[in-house]
Structure 1
Amino acid sequence: MVEQMEESPERLARPLVRLASMMGVATSYTGLSRDFHEISDETLVAILGALGIDATSDEAIEKAIADITRERNMRLIDPTVLHTVGKEAHVTLRTGITEPAQVSLILENGEPFAGELVINAMPEAKVHEIDGKFIAESDLILPAELPVGYHTLHVESGERSEDATLISAPERIEMLDPMKNGSLWGWMAQLYSIRSADSWGVGDYTDLRTLLTDGKRYTDADFLLVNPLHAAEPVVPLTPSPYLPVSRRFVNFTYIRPEDIPEYNTLDDDAKAKVKAAHQKVEGLNNDAQLIDRDAMWLEKKPALREVFDAGLSQERQREFDEYKARCGEDLEAYATWCLCYEMWGAPQDKADSWIHKMDKQSPEVIALREQHADTLEFYRWLEWTATQQLHLAQEAARTAGMKIGIMSDMAVGVHPLSSEVWWNPERFAKGATVGAPPDVFNQQGQNWSQPPLSPLALKNTGYRSYREMVRGMFDCAGAVRIDHILGLFRLWWIPEGHAAVDGTYVYYDHNVMLGILAIEASRVGGIVVGEDLGVVPPYVQKSLSEHGVLGCAVEWFEQMDGVFTPPKHWRPYALASVNTHDLPPAAGYLEYEHVKIRERLGLLEEGAEAFEASARAEHNAMLQMLTDEGYLDPSVLQDETAHETEIVEALYRGLKGSPCKLLAASIVDAVGEKRAQNQPGTDNEYPNWRVPLADAAGDAVMLEDLFRGDLLQSITKIMNA
């Protein structure tokens, strides 16, 4: 075993290193190959700058340390406090030694807490002298019986007073009853790729409702994991990737089905004819097996939606809309205003003269635009309300049909750097840094995802409000949430602006608070949380996720070590298991080396095609060996793999079913014989990422009406229900 290296005491004593450590910025890290790295001064200075801290000189560093220490010691109470329901918690108060604290607690429902809040002196309390005033620490005891929710602690001491957000969370997210002594299974699919005869060329929320109800009726599945449904641009061209959204707080209104809006039925003949004519223009796209054309769809659907909007609302529906707007508050104004600016002034660009850099929400031009185009602004609010309603109805339909979970939503890591969230609330994000990943064996230069990271300081100082609202919004329309790159709740790889990914470092977050918020929102709907934790994850992360009841992920093609696949019976139980992911070709494609062919065709193989293909063939053979050794595959099949490809795919699913994992996900693309990958990492337009329609082995489009009739799908269904 290689001994882990550590930073020397001399380095740890350096003011810059101490300042970085104070702010949760890693000054060293150990890579996947146990290789030790000390972070350069240049990177530390840049990352601290992204947090709003000047560390460009020795004097600035010393001043920053002094200012931060002073600010922390002068606070009566930390801005965010975490409490675990059922357990007593202790909170440090800092008051003048002659000015005892008075504490009150207002619960989330607005009522005062009727219980007792005890403050005790600390036996060995630290006393700080600040500006000639002596500050002492005392211990506030939060009782075990505090209810779940987001409460407000009010602290007074002398002439000073402060409020803190008290997040009182369940200790863990409870498993659903059927999962406690068994498992549940469901499908995973890219919603946009699955069209019905009534679609507008792209799968939509009505198609989702059908997928859910038919999935239960014909296969007895209990959930459907879909691609992220976060908000997108209002004007073409639309970004194909669902993992680079405009806002994670809201949902994608391009998935609306116009004909399913209640007001569609109130349209006069002329308006209804316009909607039908728009639909007819894109109806032919539903049979296109080569490419999803979001732009063509939206160019016709958006004017059709405007026709429905212009019809107006009944008194009751207007009341519901007004309640929605009040509930969403400024967050909705942010997204709707951004959409309006986008439509009127063009796509935001990363140029100094672009409106997104020249103006902010308080700019006179923005205020004037909102007033001048109040009707269009209201249209964008209405679109978001309508989209949320249709998504909510899909989840309701799933539960009514008998699904134990229903929709499993996917949460992206972050948002586009020119998004509405960053523009409206720039203080929530780090400035001058993006998120990515350090170098590893697959990406030797690291990865830069171009997304600005949320500031851990802003999260803490605002009671994690933006994160709370995002999670709550997702659980409003889902029974489960999958979090992409859940390691990001613990630490994110920040890359200074203008630097390569290799020049970054980790910045740490308060994962206990963020996991607590997930537990609150999941408990309120009886939901569950899955964290994408693929790759090498530090032991403390796995331990924390397990303690909080968050399931991990197990992928059959990834469950291997040193070229030998782990039999599914040995996989960890607390995971969502699948054969593959959206970054791999479907099972049939992977068996035919589609991942090798794509890389060869696009010139993505640094080490040469022969070496990669040899590695892929060794992996392929090792998988088949495991399947035969474990009794999932008849060895005679190996005499002619091509002729028995369906049997091999079925064997992969028998292996999946043989695992003890609490959740099992079967892929729709596997069930129809599709071979093309939905996404090829490391590419943009070189490959049609996120634009591949659902098709069968012959390359013909598979329509939603025919989806659950397929022989292979029925075969996989029998395996999953065995």
Structure 2
Amino acid sequence: MESSERLARPLIQLAKLAGIATSYVGMSHDYHEINDNVLVAVLAALGIDASGEGAIERSIKHIQDERHARLVAPTVLHRVGEESHVPVNVGMLDMPSATITLENGEAYEHTLLPDAGDGSKAYMLNGQFVSTASIVIPADLPEGYHTLHVTVGERTEDATLISAPPRVELLDEMREGRLWGWMAQLYSIRSSDSWGVGDFEDLAVLLENAKSKTGADFTLVNPLHAGEPVSMLTPSPYLPVARGMVNFTYIRPESIEEYQTLPDDTRRQIEQLHASVEPLNGDAQLIDRDAMWQAKIQALWLIFKADRTAERQREFEEFCAQVGEELEAYATWCLCYDKWGAPSEDADNWEQRLAKDSPEVMGLRQQFPDTLEFYHWLEWVASEQLDRAQSRAKAAGMRIGIMADMAVGVHPLGSEAWWYPERFAKGATVGAPPDMFNQQGQDWSQPPFNPIALERTGYKAYRDLVHNMFAHAGAVRIDHILGLFRLWWVPAGLKPIDGAYVHYDSEVMLGILALEASRADGVVVGEDLGVVPDYVADSLSSHGLLGCAVEWFEQKDGMFRAPADWREYALASVNTHDLPPAAGYLELEHVKLRERLGLLEGPKEVFERSAMAEQDAMIEMLVEHGYLDAELARDRKANQTEIVMAQYRALQDSPCKLLAASITDAVGEKRAQNQPGTNNEYPNWRIPLADARGQVVTLDTLFDRVDVRNIATIMRTK
């Protein structure tokens, strides 16, 4: 714990006032205090001056004055079915009054009663005492995003009133039972009709076949957020340009309605373009997104130029109007990228020099209206094809269908950061402190949401993001769910180890998740791996969010926990995309790869011994609980497939409400999709689906394979 002397320091008090943790406990239960220079830099990223003693004192007073000067906080959370008391700042003799405008524009008819203030907690502001009263929000306020109007004397202020269910309710099928599904990297799974990269038509077929041939009820796919409009395309789906938009590089040109009515010569051009990249489908070594997109975008231009029926044009225009500014932001950024080149951090680059409303940007929009509309159209088609995949999954009988993956942040040079700079902290990026898997810490390069801006705007950016995710899916997995509670901010110019945790209002953000999941009849899974404070685990459980139970991580003090002892509210799997597939992990691919890339802090032999000890403990658990025959365990290399199957049999004894099988495990793939802590040193997110012999596995035959069916049989056992 921090000493009383440290806690008395003005810098520490300012940091805590701003929601910055001034110390933390790491994965190994090691205690760390944040250095002053880091705190000063993180405060600066929040727009708070702590450059000297005088600045610190002024910032403390400014924050306290500002909080007492407003009548009501800009965002208020209410739980449906419970009475809420909303604090209101009043004069010593004042009494507040309030009304509510519901989300649909109607007035809430119930009378809102005030509670008297507490004069003992008065605050001196501009020569007058300010005390606190409250407004009582009745328990029967319906769920939704409402507006609270608070009046004190002649002043009236509005607040966003988020009325949310207290928890995310389980689907009926999960109350007494559970559901299972597959985990897939969409880009890596190609069919004979793909353009070298898995696409939305492949996704639809994947979902249909997963249900009809294996009985799965969902498929968890990599994030499908928007990326760049032209090459070079960022490989990582976890570094998107805009999280609220859909990645249009996954469009299947031949599945666009207008393709069917194209003139013969135009269709031949598209067929030739397709033929130019068709050989990519057989490449087992590398996904070549850029080659795919250079051919596909030409085909899409040809289809875009074709005539649309009046009905289709009306649908397009309605989509543009409905998505609104978010679409305009992304399309405009795409146009600038297309005509002026890739954004960069150079001072003379267009993204650094120009804002969304600058004359140059407005002029470019007027100069190239067709190109601007093309990017609107691409987003419409992408959303349409993604929605169609989900509809086909539901029609096939899947209970959930698509489980979408929400990335933790956005690209620092992407459209969202450029169009909405006020949403993000300036001068810091998101990462993670050192742990046993990444001993040097991590810097994910993404600018974090500014928690002050979130509160001031009623969390609109986060509300819209969650809503958009559920618009295309039956479940949402939140990458790094701890980010709703705290994020590790790394100040610009410092190493990942030199960061600090910044706290967010998790109650509001979890309330938004519950509200949007309720409206979509959806499921929320939070990726809560790593160091999870007890209060976070308790909060996730109380809000009905499922966490993640990864078999390789379910251990303590060198012993693996029996699956029967895992928690109920979780998505259970053998591994994650940041680990090699099951076969590769057994062959210590993670050790070999980290040594080759220079990611080990100590000698390879030490890490290898640790990895082997971990593997021994896993085998011991599998044998002890009857998932693996002891005789087979004696020759791990010869019986590798049986050991992998035993790991999946173990999942069946867990009480977890969702189970997931990795397609890479099912086909015997050994290569990891991603190695954290690397960029181009390893082909992250560019590994095609292949089997144990290194042969490409296509979607056409995927679910007819014996090895895939064997895993599916295990997953259907209960």
Q: TM-score, normalised by structure 2?
A: 0.98
Q: Is the aligned partner of 1:186 residue 2:181? A: yes
1:607 aligned to 2:576?
no
Partners of 1:611 and 1:28 in 2: CA distance:
30
**Partner of residue 558 from structure 2, selected from 560, 563, 579:** 563
Which residue pairs with 1:251 in the alignment?
246
User: Where does residue 716 of structure 2 map in the other structure?
Assistant: 721
Is 184-193 or 633-642 further displaced after alignment? Answer: 633-642
* 2:411 corresponding residue in structure 1: 416
- Match for residue 41 of structure 1? 36
**Distance in 1 of aligned mates of 2:513 and 2:418:** 26
Equivalent AA in structure 1 for residue 353 of structure 2: K
- Counterpart contact for 1:125–1:137, Cα < 8 Å: no
1:69 corresponds to which of 49, 54, 64? 64
Residue 679 in structure 1 maps to residue 674 in structure 2: yes
Per the alignment, residue 487 of structure 1 pairs with 482
More displaced 10-residue stretch of structure 1: 679-688 or 541-550 = 679-688
**1:493 corresponds to which letter in structure 2?**
W
Amino acid at match of 1:283: E
* 2:574 aligned residue: 579
Match of 2:644 in 1: 649
Aligned twin of 1:316: 311
Q: Give the equivalent residue in structure 1 for 2:77.
A: 82
1:495-516 superposed Cα distances (whole Å, 9 cap, x missing partner):
1111112221111000000000
- Give the counterpart of 2:695 among 666, 678, 700: 700
Distance 2:25 2:553 in 1: 22
Shift of 1:314: 2.0
Alignment of 1:124-163 (within 5 A): 124=119, 126-163=121-158
Contact 1:194/1:702, CA 8 A, preserved across alignment: yes
Check if 1:22 corresponds to 2:17.
Answer: yes
**Distance in structure 2 (CA, Å) of the matches to 1:92 and 1:604:** 50
Question: Within 1, Cα distance between the matches of 2:59 and 2:605?
Answer: 54
**3-state DSSP class of the match of 2:90?**
strand
User: Match for 2:269 among 263, 268, 274?
Assistant: 274
CA deviations on 1:10-68 (whole Å, 9 max, x unpaired) are: 32222222111111011222222332222222111111111111111222222212221
Kept in 2: contact 1:479–1:526 (CA 8 A) = yes
Inter-partner Cα distance in structure 2 for 1:414 and 1:475: 17
Matched, 1:545 2:540: yes
Indicate the larger mover: 443-452 or 580-589.
Answer: 443-452
Residues 1:476 and 2:463 are matched in the alignment: no
Paired with 1:673 and 1:433, the residues of 2 have a C-alpha distance of 40
Deviations 1:270-298 (A, max 9, x none): 22222111111111111111111100000
The answer to whether the 8 A contact 1:85-1:147 is kept is: yes
- For residue 509 of structure 2, the aligned residue among 511, 514, 530 is 514
- The CA deviation string for residues 610-659 of structure 1, in whole angstroms up to 9 with x for no partner, is 22222222222221121111111111213433332221111111011121
Any idea what the Cα deviations from partners look like across 1:345-367, whole Å, max 9, x if unmatched? Answer: 10011111111111111211011
1:246–1:421: 8 Å Cα contact kept in structure 2? yes
Deviations 1:548-587 (A, max 9, x none): 0011111111111222211111111111010111111111
Matched AA of 1:672: V
Per-residue deviation, 1:397: 1.1
**Higher mean displacement: 95-104 or 263-272:** 95-104
Deviation at 1:440, TM superposition (A): 2.4
Deviations 1:588-615 (A, max 9, x none): 1222222222223334333222222222
Q: Which amino acid aligns with 1:475?
A: F
Deviations 1:530-563 (A, max 9, x none): 1111122100000000000011111111111222
* Alpha-carbon shift at residue 100 of structure 1 (Å): 4.3
Q: 1:298 and 2:293 equivalent?
A: yes
Aligned to 2:619: 624
TM-score normalised by L of structure 1: 0.97
Contact 2:181 2:661 (8 Å CA) reproduced: yes
Using the TM superposition, give the Cα deviation of residue 90 of structure 1 relative to its aligned residue in structure 2, in angstroms.
0.3
Match of residue 103, structure 2, among 74, 93, 108: 108
Partner residue of 2:440 out of 412, 437, 445: 445
Match of 1:664 among 659, 668, 673: 659
Distance 1:563 1:35, change over 3 A: closer
C-alpha deviation, 1:323, in angstroms: 1.9
In the alignment, structure 1 residue 459 sits paired with structure 2 residue 450 = no
For the 8 Å contact 2:442–2:677, the answer to whether it is kept is: no
- 192, 206, 212: which is aligned to 2:207? 212
What do the CA deviations read for 1:165-197 (whole angstroms, capped 9, x no partner)?
Answer: 000000000011121112111000100000111
Give yes or no for the alignment of 1:426 onto 2:459. Answer: no
Other structure's SS at 2:444 match: strand
Q: Which runs of 5+ in 1 are unaligned?
A: 1-5
How many matched pairs?
717
- Contact 1:555-1:579 within 8 A present in 2 as well: yes
Provide Cα deviations, 1:56-97, integer angstroms capped at 9, x if missing partner.
Answer: 122222221222111111111100000000000000112345
User: Which of the residues 524, 529, 537 maps onto 1:534?
Assistant: 529
1:50 aligns with 45
Assess if the C-alpha contact under 8 Å between 2:26 and 2:531 holds in 1.
no
1:134, distance to aligned residue in structure 2 (A): 4.5
Report if the CA contact (8 A) 2:88-2:135 is conserved: yes
Deviation of the 1:133 alpha carbon: 4.4
- Matched residue SS, 2:512: helix
CA distance in 1, matches of 2:137, 2:330: 38
Corresponding position of 1:264? 259
Structure 2 unmatched runs, 5+: none
Q: 1 CA distance for matches of 2:28 and 2:667? A: 39
Which residue, out of 586, 594, 599, partners 1:591? 586
1:503: which partner in 2? 498
Deviations 1:99-121 (A, max 9, x none): 54342211111111112211121
Identify the residue that residue 3 of structure 1 maps to in structure 2: none
Contact 2:633/2:643 (8 A) holds in 1: no
> Greater CA deviation, 21-30 or 35-44?
35-44
| In structure 2, C-alpha distance between the alignment counterparts of 1:53 and 1:614, rounded to whole Å | 47
